[in-house]
């Protein structure tokens, strides 16, 4: 009678310990995509507009998804390469050292990311608008 209770207690304890250690391991992994805002400033002489400059980092194999920006986006690829698929245009390969412009509200997606990607991003948009808007597939 005591043996089944002891075994159940043992397996419950092992399950709790394994669950806790697996949870820590998963949370220690870096996020697939990260945007670090470096500067946000109102634009003088342009009422209601602001500029945001940041560093975008995308892990290998990550799929940031289709999206658009409410304002214009300019980015300079510091590291890595990927295929840039913008709606209505042929996909382009973007390599480190390339500079691109994504017009406001134009849907695009980064694909085929096999190595870490880092880009310096410059956004100009209406103050109070989100920096990025996800688009359903």
Question: For position 32, what pLDDT does the model report?
Answer: 83
**Are the CB atoms for 43 and 95 separated by under 8 Å?**
no
In terms of C-beta density within 10 A (0-12 exposed, 13-18 middle, 19 or more buried), how is residue 123 classed?
buried
pLDDT surpasses 90 at 14: no
In terms of C-beta density within 10 A (0-12 exposed, 13-18 middle, 19 or more buried), how is residue 102 classed?
buried
State the total domains in the chain: 2
Task: Judge if 110 and 44 occupy the same domain.
Answer: yes
Task: Judge if 5 and 49 occupy the same domain.
Answer: no
Give the structural domain span for 82.
Answer: 33-134
Task: Judge if 26 and 40 occupy the same domain.
Answer: no
Question: For position 83, what pLDDT does the model report?
Answer: 92
In the chain, the percentage of residues whose pLDDT exceeds 90 is: 67
CA 100 to CA 108: how far, in whole Å? 12
pTM for this entry: 0.74
Task: Judge if 39 and 25 occupy the same domain.
Answer: no
Task: Judge if 56 and 119 occupy the same domain.
Answer: yes
Task: Judge if 48 and 26 occupy the same domain.
Answer: no
pLDDT digits (tens, 9 = 90+) for 56-106: 999 998 888 999 999 999 999 999 999 999 999 999 999 999 999 999 999
Task: Judge if 23 and 6 occupy the same domain.
Answer: yes
């Amino acid at each position: 009678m005591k043996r089944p209770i002891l075994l159940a207690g043992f397996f419950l304890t092992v399950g709790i310990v394994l669950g806790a250690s697996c949870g820590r391991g998963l949370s220690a992994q870096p996020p697939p995509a990260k945007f670090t805002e470096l500067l946000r400033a109102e634009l003088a002489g342009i009422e209601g507009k602001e500029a945001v400059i940041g560093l975008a980092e995308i892990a290998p194999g990550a799929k940031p998804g289709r999206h658009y920006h409410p304002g214009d986006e300019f980015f300079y690829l510091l590291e890595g390469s990927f295929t840039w698929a913008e709606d209505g245009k042929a996909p382009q390969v973007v390599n480190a050292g390339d500079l691109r412009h994504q017009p406001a509200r134009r849907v695009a997606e980064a694909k085929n990311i096999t190595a870490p990607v880092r880009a310096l991003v410059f956004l100009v948009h209406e103050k109070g608008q989100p920096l990025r808007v996800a688009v359903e597939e």
